[in-house]
Amino acid sequence: MTGQPPKPWDPSTQPAPADDPRLHAPATARNRDAILDVLREILPASGRILEIASGSGEHILHFARALPLLTFQPSDPSPQALASIEAWTADSEAANISPPLLLDAAAPAWPACGPIDAILCINMIHIAPWAATEGLLRQGGAMLREGAPLYLYGPYRRADRPLEPSNAAFDESLRARNPDWGLRDLEKVAAVATGAGFSGPKVTEMPANNLSLIFRKESRR
What is the pLDDT at residue 92? Answer: 86
Does the pLDDT value for residue 14 go beyond 60? no
Report strand pairing: 202-206 vs 210-216. antiparallel
Catalogue the E-assigned strands of the chain.
47-52, 70-73, 75-76, 101-102, 118-122, 149-154, 156-157, 184-185, 202-206, 210-216
pLDDT grade for 3, boundaries at 50, 70 and 90: very low
How do the domains of the chain map onto residue ranges? 33-216
Give 149's contacts (C-beta < 8 A, 6+ positions apart).
42, 43, 118, 119, 214, 215, 216, 217
User: Can you tell me the mean pLDDT for 31-51?
Assistant: 97
CATH number, span 33-216? 3.40.50.150
Kindly report the CA angle at 29 between 127 and 120, in degrees rounded to 5?
50
pLDDT grade for 179, boundaries at 50, 70 and 90: very high
What is the pLDDT at residue 91? Answer: 81
Question: Taking a C-beta distance cutoff of 8 angstroms, is the pair 61, 89 a contact?
Answer: yes
Write down the pTM of the prediction: 0.90
Q: Using CA atoms, how far apart are residues 158 and 42, in angstroms rounded to an integer?
A: 23
Say how many CA atoms lie within 13 Å of 78 toward its Cβ: 15
What is the pLDDT at residue 18? Answer: 62
pLDDT grade for 16, boundaries at 50, 70 and 90: low
Q: Which of 170, 158, 161 is nearest to 208 (CA)?
A: 170
Q: Which of 138, 12, 122 is nearest to 63 (CA)?
A: 122
Q: What are the tens digits of pLDDT across the range 79-134?
A: 999 999 999 999 888 899 999 999 999 999 999 988 999 999 999 999 999 999 99
Percent of the chain scored above 90 by pLDDT?
Answer: 84
SS3 124: coil
User: Can you tell me the mean pLDDT for 175-181?
Assistant: 97
Distance set, CA 11 to CA 37, 74, 98 (Å): 23, 21, 24
